[in-house]
Every structure is written in structure tokens, then in C-alpha cells.
Amino acid sequence: MMEVGLEANTFGRSQLGGPTLGDVDGDGHTDVVVPTLSGNIYVLSGKDGSIVRPYPYRTHGRVMNQVLLLDLSKRGEKNKGLTLVTTSFDGYLYLIDGPTSCADVVDIGETSYSMVLADNVDGGDDLDLIVSTMNGNVFCFSTPVPHHPLKSWRSTNQGRNNVANRYNREGLYITPSSRSFRDEEGKNFWVEFEIVDKYRMPSGSQAPYNVTTTLLVPGNYQGERQIKQNQIFDRPGKYRIKLPTVGVRTTGTVLVEMVDKNGLYFSDDFSLTFHMHYYKLLKWLLVLPMLGMFGVLVILRPQEAVPLPSFSRNTDL
């Protein structure tokens, strides 16, 4: 990594957006992607800092942001390498295939200083790309690629200090069964997550993984607002953590954070509700007796000639 630092130094001030890391060409070794003000995007070998061919890729305007790295292989497709996604000051959005450096471009006609981000924004199960421009527009492009929590890249440096793509590499995500919408009523509930670590020799495993699970509930809850649990795991895999349910009707967010042996930070989160279903049942407490009374009146409908029953007729008043 030292050599990469020296090599990157030769770009000097011509570089504004920081580098991002990932195996761009799919040879099993990490590469460093460096955008430059000249419009060239360099890919450097993480081993020795040499330029990976056929890069640099030349755009026709300045590249002012970090380059997003994504696994854009479609369902069932086993693509090696990653796709480089970036805007350039020539007004195009570039999607550059890592191994070949062949590009698809989208003419957005606007410039951007911010990184293209990825997440599933509009639902469905496909990954979406978010491009925000200097004109104040936010574009959302859908892709034919299935979404996975580790494919999303929701902020520059992914919240703290990680500039590497996580899918098929390293990360932590909450499993779909845990993150789907739910309401909790019991004493406790379970959160399932998976620690992914695909590092091989010579770097080996990035364990131990220090995982902190935090239940955040908003201001309407009077007790302790943050319920935290900390655990250290020695190997990747799926784990379940039990969290206490809060005693009031409220919404909450579960945040799972992981720091590996190098201090790299990963996180995932989902939202849930507490005791909302019970509250929804309350309306039936009101409606059911009314329906019952209505039913009784319909079934026991008095004949025309028969006077309505009255409790007063047995009295002599």
C-alpha cells in the first residue's frame, strides 16, 4: 500500500475525488481507482502501484468525485470484475466495465461534484443509481441488477472510513428475514446478520469482528433511549442477536455496526415498530360491539304489528 501511496502522489493536485478500492479487472487482487481533473480515470494495481491496462479511461471533462465501484452482474451471471460508475464535467454519466474498460454513457447534460450512490430506492428488488447535480437535480436510474445490502453505497466513504466495495469482499448486512417490515410485541426479538469476509491469503481473515448492535427509539420513549450490545466474533458467518422490546408503542431503528481488525467500519440498519398491531386492534374494540348490536337488531327484527319491547311496560307508571 505504501507504493500505491507514492504512485498516487504523482497525480499531485490533479486529483480531487479520493480513490476507491476494489478488484476492477477480476484477477483476484485489489485495485485502486483514481479519478483526475484531466478527465482520466486511472486504475492502479494494489500490489505494486503499476497502471492496470487498458486504463486510464478518458472522459472529456473533469472528474471531481470518487468513482463508485459496483458488481453489476445480472441474476445468474458470473461476471468477474466491477463496473466503474462516475459523472464527468462533459455532462455524461459513465458506466465503465472493469475488465474491458468498455463504457455505456447516459447523457444527463449536467455536472456533478458528488459521488454517484447506489441503493434500492424505489422498492422492487433492483439496485438503483442516484446522481445529484450542480443544477439541483437528483436523478435515479434503475438497473437490471438485483439489489443486495452489500451492493448499496449510501454515502462517500460509506459512513466512516471504507472506500472499498463490500459485495463479495468484506462487510456486514442484516438478513432479508430480519430487515423486512415487522411489528414486535413480546419481551425480546431477534436480529440476524451475516459477516462476510472473502479475503484470502496472504492477507487472510480480517477477524476479530467487533459488532455493536444498537436499538434506537425516538423521543416518545421515556426509558433508556439506546439499548446497546457488544460482541466480538472470530469468524465470518450468520449470527443472531437478541434485543429487548421496548414497553411502549413506538417506532425504532436497529443499527448493527462492525469494526474489523484494521479498524475498517461497516454498518447496516433497519426500522421496525413496537406494539403497533395491538393499537390497530383497538379500533375493533369499538367497531365489533357496534357490529354485534347491529346484527342483533337485524336478526331479532320485530314484526310490524308487534310493538317494540320496552322496559317500561311492566311498570305501572
Q: List interacting residues with Ca ion (CB under 5 A).
A: 23, 25, 27, 29, 31, 120, 122, 124, 126, 128
- Using the minimum distance from each CB to Ca ion, give the nearer residue, 29 or 60: 29
Please provide the DSSP assignment of 167-188 as one string.
TTTEEEEE-HHHHS--EE-SSE
One-letter-per-residue 3-state SS of 96-119: EECCCCCEEEEECCCCCCCCCEEE
- Using the minimum distance from each CB to Ca ion, give the nearer residue, 46 or 171: 46
- Using the minimum distance from each CB to Ca ion, give the nearer residue, 77 or 122: 122
Burial of 150 by CB count in 10 Å (0-12 exposed, 13-18 middle, 19+ buried)? buried
Beta carbon of residue 108, minimum distance to Ca ion (angstroms, whole number): 19
Burial of 262 by CB count in 10 Å (0-12 exposed, 13-18 middle, 19+ buried)? exposed
Element (H, E) at 143: strand 138-146
- Using the minimum distance from each CB to Ca ion, give the nearer residue, 122 or 304: 122
Beta carbon of residue 120, minimum distance to Ca ion (angstroms, whole number): 4
- Using the minimum distance from each CB to Ca ion, give the nearer residue, 97 or 126: 126
What is the rounded end-to-end Cα distance, in angstroms, of the chain? 103
Beta carbon of residue 138, minimum distance to Ca ion (angstroms, whole number): 15
- Using the minimum distance from each CB to Ca ion, give the nearer residue, 27 or 97: 27
How large is the C-alpha radius of gyration of the chain? 28
Beta carbon of residue 46, minimum distance to Ca ion (angstroms, whole number): 7
Residue indicated by cell numbers 310490524: 304
State yes or no: cis peptide before 202, omega within 30 of 0. Answer: yes
Burial of 24 by CB count in 10 Å (0-12 exposed, 13-18 middle, 19+ buried)? buried
Hey, what's the cell of 48?
505494486
Beta carbon of residue 148, minimum distance to Ca ion (angstroms, whole number): 12
Beta carbon of residue 167, minimum distance to Ca ion (angstroms, whole number): 15
Beta carbon of residue 31, minimum distance to Ca ion (angstroms, whole number): 4
Rounded-to-integer distance, Cα 295 and Cα 300, Å: 8
Q: Which residues pair with 241 in a beta bridge?
A: 191
- Using the minimum distance from each CB to Ca ion, give the nearer residue, 27 or 269: 27
